[in-house]
Amino acid sequence: MKKKITAIAIATLFLSSCGGGTSSTQETFVSGNGTVTYIKANQRVNAPKLNGMTLRGTNFSFTPGKIAVVNVWASWCAPCRAEAPTLVALSQKYPETTFIGILTRDNLATAEAFQRRFSLPYPTLINDAVLIEFRDSLPANAIPSTVVIDKTGKVAARISGEVTVAGLSEIIERLSAE
């Protein structure tokens, strides 16, 4: 009887520790609520250099001079899937704005499938270490997060959570008018 109880206890412990693949990643991300943070022009700090290998296998380097929309995403993130068509549409509506993705906490195969599924027309950097460089301005504090860089290369705004057409359009137009 003692052996049976021990076996049941070990089996219970083993089965309860199973995470089911990627669920542990999904349980640890913080989803934002769409809050927009805007920084006055005289209080902005320089954005980090945005360069490196992309999901398509090419090198990318952003040069300030244009507004940039930097979207942090992962294929397993439901709000990221929900906002992808909005980002694609806005990248087409604002061709003078550079859109850049940053893949975080994901594997390349599922991220490539995500990119194909949503026909993302902009580059996605696969090294999310660049996110640390935003620490002195508006760091990505949720998945998804979108940081907007002004024409001078300074961090101007962040949307924490899923972007909306109205919210991101307002930021781009406000920065275009500066």
Residue 175, number of CB atoms within 10 A of its CB: 20
> How far apart are the C-alpha atoms of 139 and 94, rounded to whole Å?
24
pLDDT, one tens digit per residue, over 3-55 is 444 333 333 332 233 333 333 333 334 456 778 899 999 999 999 999 999 99
CA atoms within a 13 Å half-sphere pointing along the CA-CB vector of 128: 17
Percent of the chain with pLDDT over 70: 81
Average pLDDT over residues 88-103: 98
Residues in the chain: 178
| Residue 120 falls in which region: left (phi positive, over 0), alpha (psi -120 to 50) or beta | beta
Residue 163, number of CB atoms within 10 A of its CB: 26
Q: Which domains does the chain have, with CATH numbers?
A: 29-176 (3.40.30.10)
| pTM value surpassing 0.85 | no
Average pLDDT over residues 118-132: 94
